[in-house]
Amino acid sequence: MRVMTWNILVGGQDRLGAILDVVRRERPDVLALQELKGWSAKRVGEVAGELGMTAHLAPSVFGQPVAVLARTALTRTRSITWRLHHAAAVATVGDLTVVSTHLNPFSPERRRREATWLAACFFRTRRKVLIAGDLNSLDPGTDHAEALAVIDQRYQRRHLTPAGTADTRAIRALLDAGFVDVGRGIGATVPTARYREREFGEFRLDYLMASPPLARLTRYVSVRRDEVTDRASDHYPVVASFSDETEQPAG
């Protein structure tokens, strides 16, 4: 199974054609999308149809919708709209539960609470679960001092603890619950070349957090950086493959 997660920046706008070209090129079996501003269930259904997929959209009360798309039928779908700043779209694809989500971009403490709640709600020791999306959190295994130092102070606050250190508590909450960060070491997912003057340092904000039964099947995880993804969003897409048999990375 090939999985892709991507924050496409305020609904894709005039970049949507390039975004869909990347998705067609990567051919994910499961696609988690975030920042679907202005998208309705009808709209995501139309886009899914163009891609040969089915979709479940979770609307957002305060932020932007998120979605799960898949090449096979989605079952037991669920939308979480009130516990999160943005939302979470939950769907079962075969024996896999996929949670596409986008955590609070502004408040480290609220982001920690969101991650803690998601971990308690969805972690399973014997089932395949994947939390995929823009978690807006720094990871606890990286030195973030240099990346934080280059951005404006007002944006630094989004990623600092009250003590002034890099805030990694959201990812730590998921790890402490038992999820595995299968993309550890893949490098930064923001900013892309087109958006380097925005609020990001060289951060990894997009994650694939897998339950142990799924994590054991990980074959590769990579960030897709090229001329198209450089301009398609302010985030790069993350692609992973999960398989019972050895598989070589594609590209």
Q: What is the DSSP letter of 249?
A: -
Q: What does the pLDDT average to over 91-96?
A: 97
> What is the mean pLDDT of the segment spanning 209-231?
98
Mean pLDDT within 208-236? 98
Total number of domains in the chain:
1
The CATH number of the domain where 123 resides is what? 3.60.10.10
Q: Which of 72, 45, 71 is nearest to 56 (CA)?
A: 45
In the predicted model, what is the mean pLDDT of residues 189-214? 94
Per-residue pLDDT for 43 more than 70? yes
Which residues lie closer than 8 Å to 111 by C-beta, 6 or more apart? Answer: 103, 104, 105, 135, 136, 137, 167, 169, 170
DSSP-assigned letter for residue 1: -
In 114-203, where do the E strands start and end?
Answer: 128-134, 180-181
- CA triplet 65, 234, 192: central angle to 5 degrees? 155
**Do 200 and 151 contact (CB within 8 A), yes or no?**
yes
pLDDT of residue 143: 95
Spatial distance between the Cα atoms of 41 and 4, rounded to a whole number of angstroms? 20
Q: Give me the residues paired with residue 133 across strands.
A: 101, 207
Residue 120 has pLDDT above 80, yes or no: yes
Q: Is 122 left (phi over 0), alpha (psi -120 to 50) or beta?
A: alpha
**Of 50 and 246, which is predicted with more confidence?**
50
Q: Cβ-count burial of 139 within 10 angstroms (0-12 exposed, 13-18 middle, 19+ buried)?
A: buried
- Is 32 in contact with 5 (CB distance < 8 Å)? yes
* pLDDT at 249 > cutoff 90: no
Please report whether residue 233 resides in a domain: yes
What are the pLDDT digits (tens) for 162-199? 999 999 999 999 999 999 999 999 999 999 999 987 78
Work out the average pLDDT over 86-90.
98
Q: What is the pLDDT of residue 199?
A: 83
Residue 154, pLDDT above cutoff 80: yes
Tell me the mean pLDDT in the region 123-131. Answer: 97
Can you give the residue range of the structural domain that contains 173? 2-242
Report residue 14 as tokens. 């005039």
For the record, the structure tokens of 53 come out as 């997929």
193 backbone dihedrals φ, ψ, rounded to 5°: -60, -35
pLDDT above 80: residue 251: no
Asked if residue 106 lies in contact with residue 163, where contact means CB atoms within 8 angstroms, the answer is no
Among 105-114, 179-188, 240-249, where is mean pLDDT lowest?
240-249
* Domain assignment of residue 14, yes or no: yes
C-alpha 126: how far from chain center: 23
Q: How far apart are CA 156 and CA 66, in angstroms?
A: 25
Average pLDDT estimate for 92-98: 97
Q: What is the mean pLDDT of the chain?
A: 95
- Residue 41 located in a structural domain: yes
Is 209 among the domain residues?
yes
Q: Tell me: the pLDDT tens digits for 48-66? A: 999 999 999 999 998 999 9
Q: Is the CB of residue 47 less than 8 Å from the CB of residue 23?
A: no
Is residue 15 domain-resident?
yes
Is residue 222, in this structure, part of any structural domain at all?
yes
Given this model, what pLDDT does residue 247 score? 46
The answer as to whether 148 is a domain residue is yes
pLDDT of residue 244: 85
Model's pTM, two decimal places? Answer: 0.96
Q: Does residue 247 belong to any structural domain of this protein? A: no
- 132 pLDDT exceeds 70? yes
